[in-house]
Amino acid sequence: MLFKGITNCISRIIKEEGFLTFWNGNVTNIISYFPTQSLNFALKSYFKRSFPQSLKSKPLLFNITCGSAAGVTSMLFFHPFDFAKTKLANDAKNILFKKPRKYKGFFDVYKQTFANVGPMGIYRGLIASCCCMCIYRGLYFGLYDSVNKKIKNLGIKFIAGWGITIISGAAAYPFDTVRRR
């Protein structure tokens, strides 16, 4: 039976799997999230300096292009972490169906992938991930950088950032669904 709500979910996870289960797979988040974000911002700045002057005359297109390039480039570096995180998340679903888990953890994902399909196996799904990042980071950075200069009020900037994050996420979500599967 599936969970009846958040309280039922929390209590059953603690009872059936233990309290530390809430952090299963979190190592990949810690290892990849902050460096990924840092690299996205650094690359966005790099591409803004590197792209041709002619593109700068169209600020929205320029910002979207720089954001897309930053997102795709950072994905090339961090896709192996995303791959392991997705494998572990899908593996955790086996518990719901009373099946044994396939992986013992982060490094076991790599070990089994290397053994079964070779080192390039950790780049499965890269195209879908890059499409997702191209759309998400392009819109996220592009729209925000374009409107940020025009807005002075902190509250309005917050609302704009929130809305832009929702728009970016909604536009990229179909590719995210494909990527996760």
What are the DSSP calls for 79-137, one per residue?
A: HHHHHHHHHHHHHHGGGGGT---S-SSHHHHHHHHHHHH-GGGGGTTHHHHHHHHHHHH
Confidence of residue 63 (pLDDT cuts 50, 70, 90): very high
Q: Which pLDDT score is estimated for 153?
A: 94
Give me the DSSP letters along 18-68. Answer: -GGGGGTTHHHHHHHHHHHHHHHHHHHHHHHHHS-HHHHTSHHHHHHHHHH
Q: Which pLDDT score is estimated for 28?
A: 65
pLDDT in tens, 25-59: 677 677 778 888 899 999 999 999 998 878 888 99
Whose tokens are 């392991």? That residue is 84
Instruction: Give the mean model confidence (pLDDT) for residues 149-162.
Output: 93
Distance CA 139, CA 133 (A): 10
Instruction: Give the mean model confidence (pLDDT) for residues 123-145.
Output: 93
On average, the pLDDT of the chain sits at 89
Instruction: Give the mean model confidence (pLDDT) for residues 138-166.
Output: 94
Q: Which pLDDT score is estimated for 23?
A: 81
CA proximity to 48, closest of 56, 58, 36: 56
Q: Which pLDDT score is estimated for 96?
A: 73
Q: Which pLDDT score is estimated for 179?
A: 78
**Tokens standing for residue 141:** 């950075």
pLDDT in tens, 74-113: 999 989 988 888 888 888 777 777 888 899 888 999 999 9
**Tokens standing for residue 68:** 């897309």
Contacts of residue 16, defined as CB under 8 A and 6 or more positions apart, other chains included, come to 95
